[in-house]
Chains A and B, each alone.
Chain A
Amino acid sequence: MSTAPVLPARTDGRSTDASIAGVRRGRRGGWRFHAIMTPLSLLWIAPMIFVVFVAVRSFGDLTDRGLAALPLSIDLSGFVTVFTAGLVGEALVNSVIVTIATVFLTLLLATWAAFALSRFHIPFRRTILLVMLAGNLLPPQILLIPVARITEGLGIYDTLAALVIVQVGFGLGFYTFVLHGFMRAIPPEIFEAARVDGAGEIRTYWQLVLPLCRPSLAALAALATTWIWNDLIWALTVLRTETNFPITAALLNIQGGYVSQWNVVASGAIVAALPTAIVFFAFQRHFVSGLTLGSGK
Chain B
Amino acid sequence: MPSVVWFFLLIPLAVELAWVFWPAINSFWLSLTRWNGIGDPEFIGIGNFERLLSDPIFGQAILNNVIWVIGFGGFSVIVGLSLAVALNKPRRGVGFYRSAIYLPMVFSLAVTGLFWRVIYQPDGAVNAFLGSIGLGSLETQWLANPDTALYAVLVAAVWRQVGYIMVLYLAGLKGVDPTLEEAAAVDGASPWQRFWRIVMPQLSGVNSVVFAVTVIDSLRTFDIVWAMTRGGPYNSTQLLSTYMYQTSFTVLDLGYGSAIAVVIFALAIVFIITYLARAAKED
Chain A residues 272 to 292 lying within 8 A of chain B, measured CB to CB, are 272-273, 276-277, 279-280, 284, 287-288, 291-292
Interface flags, A47-85, vs B, CB<8A=1, else 0: 110110010000000000011100000000000000000
The answer to whether B118 and A277 have CB atoms under 8 Å apart is: no
**Chain B contact residues, majority secondary structure:** helix
Interface residues on B, range: 35 or more
B108 A130 Cβ-Cβ under 8 A: no
Q: How far is the CA of A136 from the CA of B21 in the complex (A)?
A: 10
B237 within 8 A of A: no
| The residue from B83, B258, B280, B282 contacting A145, defined by CB atoms under 8 A apart | B258
Residues on the A chain within 8 Å of B281, using CB = 296
Does more than half of chain A's interface fall in helix, strand or loop, or is it mixed? helix
User: With an 8 A cutoff between CB atoms, is A187 at the interface?
Assistant: no
**Chain A proximity of B8: nearest CB distance (Å):** 4
Residues of chain B touching chain A, judged by Cβ–Cβ distance below 8 Å, are 1-2, 4-6, 8-9, 11-13, 15-16, 18-24, 26-27, 30, 83, 86-91, 93, 96-97, 99-111, 114-119, 121, 123-125, 127-129, 159, 164, 167-168, 171-172, 174-175, 178, 181-182, 185, 205-206, 209, 213, 216-217, 219-220, 222-223, 226-227, 240-241, 244-245, 248-249, 254, 257-258, 260-262, 264-265, 268, 272, 275-276, 278-283
Write the residues of chain A forming the contact surface with B, with a CB cutoff of 8 angstroms. Answer: 2-3, 5-8, 10, 12, 14-22, 26, 30, 33-34, 36-38, 40-42, 44-48, 50-51, 54, 66-68, 109-110, 112-113, 115-117, 120-122, 126, 128-130, 132-150, 165-166, 168-170, 172-173, 176-177, 180-181, 184, 200-202, 205, 226, 229-233, 236-237, 248-249, 251-252, 255, 262, 265-266, 268-269, 272-273, 276-277, 279-280, 284, 287-288, 291-292, 294-297
Would you call B8 and A112 a contact (CB within 8 A)? yes
A172 touches B12 (CB 8 A): yes
Residue contact A251 to B119, C-beta cutoff 8 Å: no
| Distance of A87 Cα from B13 Cα, bound (Å) | 38
Contact residues in A for B219 (Cβ distance below 8 Å): 139
B89 touches A284 (CB 8 A): no
User: Considering the chains assembled together, what is the distance between the CA atoms of A14 and B260 in angstroms?
Assistant: 47
Judge whether B182 and A294 touch: CB under 8 Å: no
Report B75 CB to chain A, min CB distance, Å: 14
Contact assessment for A18 and B116 in the assembled complex, using a CB-CB cutoff below 8 Å: no
Give Cα A184–Cα B283 distance, bound, in whole angstroms.
9
Which residue of B27, B88, B128, B164 contacts A291 across the interface (Cβ within 8 Å)? B164
30 sample A-B contacts, Cβ–Cβ < 8 Å, listed by A number: A2-B213, A3-B220, A6-B206, A6-B279, A33-B91, A44-B159, A113-B13, A120-B5, A132-B16, A133-B276, A135-B16, A137-B268, A138-B265, A141-B241, A141-B264, A143-B24, A144-B244, A144-B249, A145-B26, A150-B18, A169-B19, A173-B20, A230-B110, A232-B227, A233-B222, A248-B223, A251-B227, A265-B117, A272-B111, A277-B106
